[in-house]
Structure 1
Amino acid sequence: MSPETRSQAIAAAVILIGAGLVIYFLPAIVLGIGEFSPALGFIVGAALLLGFFAIFWLRARYQRRK
């Protein structure tokens, strides 16, 4: 396994673990914020879910430039 491939695998694993933790705790986060403001709870929930896809989109753009 080349160093570049290993680095990519580690980066993908870290991103997936981080996203998995966020998605696991997402209901508690949204409900907690939703008690304060339902609209803010929706916005935070949507931002966290879209952030998962944005990370991979940005990473793909970075890899394409290399």
Structure 2
Amino acid sequence: MHIVIGLIIAFVIVAIFARRNRATRNCRWRADHTGDRGALKKYRCAACGATGFSATGGPPRDCKSQLPKV
């Protein structure tokens, strides 16, 4: 019985983390330090070519290629 409860808890945790990264699943962000703007770090997606900036120290959390073109 303890094994079944443990498996259910593990499944729920994996499902939560899988949903959390859904927006960037297809993007592979690479740092591009030539375009940094002070505290903002520039990143370029190797998959779709989108560029984005982040001040969190890591790559952007969302995919920029799905945004409408202006």
TM range (shorter): 0.3 to 0.5
Larger Rg: 2
Higher helix share: 1
Question: TM-score w.r.t. structure 2 length?
Answer: 0.36
Question: TM-score w.r.t. structure 1 length?
Answer: 0.38
Higher strand share: 2
